[in-house]
Amino acid sequence: AVTRRPLMAGNWKMNLNHFEANLLLQKLAASLTEKQLTDVECVVLPPFTDLRTVQTAVDGDKLLIGYGAQDLSAHQSGAYTGEISGAMLAKLGCSYVVVGHSERRAYHHEDDALVNAKVTAALGSGITPILCVGEGLDVRDEQRHVAHCQDQLTAGLKGLSAEQVTKVVIAYEPVWAIGTGKTATPEDAQEVCGAVRERLAELYDQATADQVRVLYGGSVKASNVAAIMAKPDVDGALVGGASLDAEEFAQICRFP
Ligand code: PEP
């Protein structure tokens, strides 16, 4: 059987300045032992403006904490005012980048084609994309959520080889559970995370699908993480609000 190292990724969204970022990182590192940080991969996803601060703290103190960005440009360089390329993120030591978060899809009109271009751009820069899929409440009410997420997945991965897809992380984030305090049940999380893996096996093969980490995201907290992580196809969590509290996020990383 394949063992997939659990991944806990904290999406800070548009929160925390340079000082607050430093403070949170120090507290987080102090709350977790070397063994815990080896067993579970702990990653923070700060705003672009905090990346240098995080890089300095992680490199300077040799923290076993990974980091990445919340978005990137689909383009490599050029006249794209306000955009940040994968190469720029790589230069700052980013290992991860979130792609297709529901907030980007909703507020910045990112469609599947753009999400696919960003996934490809991230891989081209040697950065692991965390590709987000998830349904809104209307789709869930009509019980179309599994097909919806599988279709977003297929579109997001278009053109990728099996070797490339093993470097991608998928995050299932039901939009109705993000920032609402409404967590999907562990069974809801398993249903779609399992369906994501099934689609990966159809698109590639079972061995490839078994290597890909699939996260759940949506109001994950220290109090509910263990039940969600007990499900066979859930390999970690993408955490928003609860990642802004060092002790809470440390507890999430200590889930086992
Ligand atoms: C998110 O935005 O990725 C997220 C899961 O947020 P929250 O944990 O606050 O619901």
ipTM of the complex model? 0.97
Please give the pLDDT value at position 42. Answer: 98
Give the model's pLDDT for residue 166. Answer: 97
Residue nearest to atom 4 of ligand 1 (CA): 240
Q: Which amino acid is at 211?
A: Q
Burial class (CB in 10 A: 0-12, 13-18, 19+), 16: buried
Residue 244 burial (C-beta neighbours within 10 Å; 0-12, 13-18, 19+): middle
Stretch (H or E) spanning 10: strand 7-11
236, β-bridge pairs: 7, 215
pLDDT on residue 38: 95
User: What pLDDT is stored for residue 1 in this prediction?
Assistant: 65
- Distance from Cα 125 to the centre of ligand 1, integer Å: 26
Please tell me the predicted confidence (pLDDT) of residue 256: 81
Pocket test for ligand 1, best of 7, 8, 11 (most atoms within 8 A of CB): 11
Please tell me the predicted confidence (pLDDT) of residue 2.
76
| Closest residue to atom 6 of ligand 1, CA basis | 240
Taking the centre of ligand 1 as the mean of its atom positions, its distance from the CA of residue 163, in whole angstroms, is 29
Ligand 1 centroid to 255 CA: how many Å?
17
Task: Using 70 as the pLDDT threshold, list the residues of the chain that sit under it.
Answer: 1
C-alpha distances in Å from residue 256, one per residue of 20, 33, 211, 226: 28, 13, 21, 7
List, chain by chain if needed, residues with CB within 6 Å of any ligand 1 atom. Answer: 11, 173, 178-179, 217-220, 238-242
**Catalytic residue selected from 41, 103, 110, 173:** 173
Mutate to test the pocket of ligand 1, among 176, 219, 228, 245 (most ligand atoms within 8 A of CB): 219
Give the H or E element holding residue 213.
strand 213-217
